[in-house]
Amino acid sequence: MAAGMVMNNFSLKQGHCLELKGFIPKDAKSFAINLGKDSSNYVIHFNPRFDHEGDTNKIICNSKEENSWGTEQRENVFPFQQGAETSICFEYQADHLKVKLSDGQEFNFPIRMPLDTITFLSMDGIELKAISLH
């Protein structure tokens, strides 16, 4: 994946939603969005795969604590298209993140590493168009 962007010191608190709008390149094999404390600690690693590491049209989610990966959660919903814009909303709850996809589908990912506030965001393989917290 191409090197992306990193944002530190923003504030996503429980009960709020981080909405990202982005453009997926035509030749994308996958893209990733990471939310957490820093590059070694992710509350969620959100990784839609078009055709990457043996996965086709699957969303792979995971957590990472002190550079150790947790257990993957695989989702079969896949509203993403190469060469198109998309939006994803991550709603931070006490025990899970509710992931809302552009087509209206949702799924939950468990909070394995509780944080008062998510302060780190990184993105690879997708071009950020807009970001909002609400």
Which pTM value belongs to this model? 0.95
Confidence of residue 4 (pLDDT cuts 50, 70, 90): confident
- What lies within 8 Å, CB to CB, of 104 at 6+ separation is none
Looking at residue 115, what is its pLDDT? Answer: 93
Element (DSSP H or E) covering residue 119 = strand 117-124
Token pair, residue 9, equals 């010191």
Token pair, residue 94, equals 């006490």
Looking at residue 35, what is its pLDDT? Answer: 97
pLDDT in tens, 71-93: 999 999 999 999 999 999 999 99
Could you report how far apart the first and last alpha carbons of the chain are, in Å? 29
pLDDT in tens, 19-66: 999 999 999 999 999 999 999 999 999 999 999 999 999 999 999 999
- CATH number given to 5-133: 2.60.120.200
**Whole-angstrom Cα distance, residue 134 to residue 114?**
20
- What lies within 8 Å, CB to CB, of 94 at 6+ separation is 14, 111, 114
